[in-house]
């Protein structure tokens, strides 16, 4: 589903943020991505969603070589991927409902269908009763769950998450990981960048470890 073939990424004149990375992630997998701060986890995710282009090598997502995706087709590519951002990236002047509905509005769903799907997604993350609230009135964990609902509401084939449990307590972190596992169960490819080694090593999924831009372990299943 996602494959990296000798991918390197260098920002400006600095050293490589990623160096000769080769990974293969199958469609039914849930994979964790770990490594120290600055190891290149976010960079790897950014390449998948075309926020950046690799300096060398190929990234292939869902059968498509991303080098062939022209700028005007980037939005379409991003719509096929659900992303949970490290800093939530919510619209603070819109209700929870409107935030979660945004990908559907962008994709052009009808109003009734939007309502149905948004409520289903909010129900999954346990925030159905807060749909009229504003993001500012939510705790960090709740905001994170709104971000997850928004990432999955469009039923993407691929779900990326950058530190989704970054500032959550252990119980809530485990709950959110369970949520990701549930999505994986229904056939979504999930890639989660996380520091939380204790948590992710308990979960028995493949763990890809990066160190200073190099792949250390977890290259293949």
Partner 1 sequence: MKGQKDTGRRKEGASLSRTDLRGHVKAWIQHHRLSAADSLMRVLDSLGSSFLTWLVIGIALALPVGLNVALDNMTRVTAGWDSPAQISLFLQGEVSLDRLREIEVELAARDDVSETRAILRDEALDEFRTLSGFADVLASMQANPLPDVLLVTPDAALDGRGVSALRAELQGHSDVAEAVLDMEWLQRLNSLMALSRRLVLAIGGMLVVGVVLILGNTIRLAIESRRDEIVIVKLIGGSNGFVRRPFLYTGLWYGVGGGVLAALLVTAALWSLEKPISDLAMLYESAFQLSGFGVMGSLNLVILGGLLGLAGAWLAVSRHLARIEPR
Ligand X SMILES: Nc1ncnc2c1ncn2[C@@H]1O[C@H](COP(=O)(O)OP(=O)(O)OP(=O)(O)O)[C@@H](O)[C@H]1O
Strand ranges, E, within 11-99? 16-25, 30-34, 56-61, 64-65, 81-84
- 196 and 165 in contact (C-beta within 8 Å)? yes
Among 47, 48, 90, 96, which residue interacts with partner 1 (rule: CB under 8 A)?
Answer: 90
Label residue 12 exposed, middle or buried (CB < 10 Å: 0-12, 13-18, 19+).
exposed
* 75 is a site residue for partner 1 (CB under 8 A): yes
26 touching partner 1, by CB under 8 A: no
Q: Return the residues of window 133-192 that contact partner 1 according to CB under 8 A.
A: 150
In this structure, how many other beta carbons lie within 10 angstroms of the beta carbon of residue 140?
12
Residue 89 binds to partner 1 (criterion: CB under 8 A)? yes
Residue 193: CB minimum distance to ligand X, A? 6
Size of the site for ligand X (CB under 6 A): 12
Which token pair is 7?
Answer: 């991918």
Question: Residue 14 CB, nearest distance to partner 1 (Å)?
Answer: 16
Closest to ligand X by CB, 8 vs 95, is 8
Collapse the DSSP code of 147 into the 3-class scheme (helix H, G, I; strand E, B; otherwise coil) and give the result.
Answer: helix
How far is residue 141's CA from residue 32's CA, in Å, rounded to a whole number? 20
Q: Which residues bind ligand X (CB under 6 A)?
A: 11-12, 14, 17, 35, 37-43
Give the residues lining the site for partner 1 (CB under 8 A): 49, 51, 72, 75-80, 83, 85, 89-91, 93, 102-103, 105-111, 150
């Amino acid at each position: 589903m996602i494959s990296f073939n000798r991918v390197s990424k260098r920002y400006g004149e600095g050293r490589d943020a990623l160096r000769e990375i080769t990974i293969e992630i199958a469609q039914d997998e849930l994979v964790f991505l770990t490594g120290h701060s600055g190891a290149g986890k976010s960079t790897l995710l950014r390449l998948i969603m075309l926020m950046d282009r690799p300096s060398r090598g190929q990234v292939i997502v869902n059968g498509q070589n991303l080098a062939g995706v022209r700028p005007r087709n980037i939005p379409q590519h991003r719509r096929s991927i659900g992303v949970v951002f490290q800093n939530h990236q919510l619209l603070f002047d819109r209700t929870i409902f409107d935030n979660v509905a945004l990908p559907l509005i962008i994709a052009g769903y009808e109003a009734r269908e939007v309502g149905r799907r948004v409520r289903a997604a909010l129900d999954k993350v346990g925030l159905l009763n807060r749909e009229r609230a504003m993001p500012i009135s939510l705790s960090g964990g709740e905001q994170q769950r709104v971000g997850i609902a928004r990432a999955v509401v469009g039923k993407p084939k691929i779900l990326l998450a950058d530190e989704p449990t970054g500032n959550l307590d252990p119980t809530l972190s485990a709950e959110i990981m369970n949520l990701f596992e549930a999505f994986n169960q229904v056939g979504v490819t999930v890639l989660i960048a996380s520091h939380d080694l204790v948590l992710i090593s308990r979960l028995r999924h493949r763990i890809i470890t990066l160190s200073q831009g190099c792949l250390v372990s977890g290259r293949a299943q």
